[in-house]
Structure 1
C-alpha cells in the first residue's frame, strides 16, 4: 500500500543505517535523499559482526545473501585463555536459515549498500550538512549547505553518535565513557583460524575474526582510564604493547601490526536517548539515538533494524504520528537491552581486570540470553498502540 502521509524523506547521514534506510524506503515506494557531510567515503577495511537478527533484517531488502556470500560465517566463537589454552566453544543462538554469525569487511558492507543505493537512483549530497531545519504542519523545511532547499514529510537523523540532528532536537546530551577502548586491525587470514576466537587475558581481551577466505581482523578491548588521546602515528606501536602479554596466535600476529594508519582505535562511549527519539516530523535512528559498547556485536545490527522496522510500519499507511509511536514501542526496548547489557559486560570485564571478578556471574549465559532476545521477531503485526 502506498503511504499517503510520507512520500518524501530526507536522510541525514550516509553510513550503514542511512544507506539501508534509503533502500528500505525505495522498496515501499517512498522517495528518499541522503545528506552526507564527508566529501568522499573513507570506510575502514576492518570487520563487522552480523548476528542472525541483522541478516534477517537485511533479507527484507534482498541483501542478506550477498553479505553471506562476501563474508565468512560460523556457528559460534572459540574461547581461550590469554596464553592460548582452549577453554570452550560457544554456539551463537540462531534463526532458521541463518548462521550463528557472519563477519564481513565494513568496506564490503558499505559497497553492497552503496551499490544498491546507486542502482535505485537515490540522490546523495556529499560534502553537505543541514544548515537550517524547521518543522511545520506541511513538513520539515530544510536548507542544505549546498544551497538545496526542500520540504520533507520526514527527516531521519542517521548521523551517528555526535548527531547534528539530535542537537537540534534535544540539545547536547551526555555520553558515558566506559573506561575502555577498542582496537581493530586487518590481517591476512591464518590457515589455522577456522572460525572466530577470543583470548581472555588478565588486563585485556583479544580476538581474531575471519571475514573472508583471505582476510581476518584483530579485535582488542583494553582498559583506557581517563580516555587518553593516542597519537595517530603511534597506534601500531601502542596496539602491539597492549597485546604483548598474550600467547598463542595472538602473539603470532603481533609483529604484523606495522602500519599506524591501518589501526582503528575508538574509545567506547555509550548513550541511550530517552523515548521518544522524535519531535514532529524528525526522527533519530541508529547511533544518533543509541550507541553501545561492542561487546555483543549488536550496535550496527540495531541501527539497521531501526530503519527496516520503520519502513515496515510505513507500509501500513498510518499517520506519521501513529507510525512513530509504534516505531518507538518496537525499537526502544531492543536498543535499551543492547546498551544496558553491553554496559554490564564492560563493568564485569573491568572488575575482572582489577581482580574483583564476581564468581556468581555467568557471563556466557548472559551473552547468549541477550543474543537470543534479539532473535525474537521484529516485523510482527502492529496496532497495539
Structure 2
C-alpha cells in the first residue's frame, strides 16, 4: 500500500486544524471541511500543560499560542478556605517555552485558523460529508453541498458528537458521567501566577486559571444528578450556589458571576473508544476517539498530540502501517488520560471511597511531560 498523498479532514476545531497543519508541513495535500459556516467557538478558558506546548511548537505555533495566553507557574491544590495544600510547579521551559499556559478557546482558535489559512490549506465552511465509501485503496466522499472527492485517508476530527464515529461505530456514544462543569470569565487579581483547585466540598471542586494579564476563568465541577437542564436566566444563580462556602480568592471571584448569558454550563460526557480508532482508511482523532472529562485539563492537548503523531506516521509509512503505528503510539497514553480524568470525577462524587486526587494529578502531569 502506498503512502497517503491526499487527505480529507472532517472538522475544523483544534484537532482538525492541527492535523491539517502537520500534514501540510510534510508535503501531503490536505483539505478541511467544517459544518459550522461561521467557524465559531464558545468563549471559555482552557488549561494547557507541557505536552500541549511541545506539540504546538512542533506545528510552528508555540510562540503564537504563548503570546495569546498567559503563562503561569503550575497547579496548586487549596483547602476550602484557600490555604495551599500542595504545589505542582511546571517545568520551567519546554522547547524554550513555558510549560503551563491558560488561554481562551477563541484565542487558540485564532492562532490555528490563521496558521491554516496562511499556509493556503483549503477550508470549506458550512460543509460536511454526506457519505463515505471506503473502497480499499481510497475513500470516495460525497459532500453536503453536492460535490465529491476521492482521498487516500479521511480523518474525523469532529468532536465528542462525531458524525464520522457514528458512521463507523454507530453504537459508540458519549455517556453522561454524573457531573457538569460551570465556567465564567472574571478579572484576574494582580499577582495571581497559579491555577488553583479548591478541595473540601462534597460532590465536586472549583478553582480558577489565568488567561491573560487582565482575565482569568473560574470553574466549578459538581455532581448533577439526573443530568438536569437549566433555564438560561438561572445560570448565574446556579453557578454562584455551587461556589458558596469557598474562601480565598475564589470567594471574591464568585461575586463577579452576575450575567447568566456569560455562564457556560456543560454536562460532562465521555466516550473512550477501544483500539483501533480506524476502519480501513478512515480514522478518528481527538474527542471523536477519546473524549474525557476536564479534570486533568488535557482535552486539547490529546487532540494536538494525535494530530502531530498521525501526520508524522502518514508521512513516513504506507497507510496501513501508518495507522497501526499511530495507534501503537497513542492508544495507551490517551486511555490513561481518559480513565484517570473519569476516576477523578468518581472520587469527587464518592469521597467515601476516593483515592488521593493530588497524587494522581501529579503522576499524570509527570507522565505527560515525557515525549510522545
TM-score when normalising by structure 1: 0.92
Which residue does the alignment assign to 1:120?
119
> Structure 1: how far apart are the matches of 2:260 and 2:8?
37
Aligned pair 1:199/2:195, yes or no?
no
Range with greater deviation from structure 2 (198-207 or 132-141): 198-207
Listed as ranges, the matches of 1:149-168 within 5 Å are: 149-168=148-167
Give the equivalent residue in structure 2 for 1:179: 178
- TM-score normalised to structure 2 length: 0.95
Distance (Å, rounded) in 1 between the aligned partners of 2:294 and 2:12: 21
Aligned to 1:59: 57
User: Which ranges in structure 1 are unaligned for 5 or more consecutive residues?
Assistant: 379-385
Residue 253 of structure 1: aligned partner: 253
- Kindly state the Cα deviation for residue 98 of structure 1 after the two structures are TM-superposed: 4.2
Aligned residue number for residue 15 of structure 2: 17
After superposition, residues 207-286 of structure 1 pair within 5 angstroms as 207-286=207-286
Aligned to 2:78: 80
Residue in 1 aligned with 2:40? Answer: 42
| Bigger shift: residues 90-99 or 134-143 | 90-99
Q: Which residue of 2 aligns with 1:145?
A: 144
SS in structure 2 of the partner of residue 180 of structure 1: strand
Deviations 1:137-161 (A, max 9, x none): 3411001111221001110000111
Is residue 2:327 matched to residue 1:335? no
Structure 2 match to 1:363? 357
Structure 2 match to 1:382: none
Q: Is the 8 A contact 2:207 2:218 kept in 1?
A: yes
Contact 2:156 2:288 in 1 (8 A): yes
Question: Could you tell me how far apart the structure 2 residues matched to 1:21 and 1:304 are?
Answer: 7
**Bigger mean CA offset, 92-101 vs 274-283:** 92-101
Distance 1:65 1:210 in 2: 18
Structure 2 CA distance for aligned equivalents of residues 255 and 209 of structure 1: 16
C-alpha displacement at 1:25, in angstroms? 0.7
Larger mean CA deviation between 125-134 and 245-254 belongs to 245-254
User: C-alpha distance in 1, partners of 2:114/2:26?
Assistant: 19
Alpha carbons 1:205, 1:221 under 8 Å: kept: yes
CA shift for structure 1 position 192: 4.1
The alpha carbon displacement at 1:195 in A equals: 2.1
- 2:11, 2:253 → 1: CA distance? 35
| Residue 216 to residue 240, structure 1, CA distance change in 2 (3 Å) | same
Structure 1 residue matching 2:55: 3-state secondary structure: helix
Structure-1 separation of matches of 2:261 and 2:123: 28
Deviation at 1:38, TM superposition (A): 1.0
Q: Which moved more, 1:89-98 or 1:124-133?
A: 89-98
Report how far residue 315 of structure 1 moved.
2.5
- After TM superposition, give the deviation of residue 92 of structure 1 in Å: 3.5
Q: CA deviation at 1:357?
A: 5.0
Give 2:5's match in structure 1, choosing from 1, 7, 20.
7
Q: Is the 8 A contact 1:12 1:157 kept in 2?
A: yes
Gaps of 5+ in 2: none
**How many residues get paired?**
370
Q: Deviations over 1:40-71 (max 9, x none)?
A: 02222321111101111111111111112221
Q: Distance in 1 between matches of 2:44 and 2:339?
A: 25
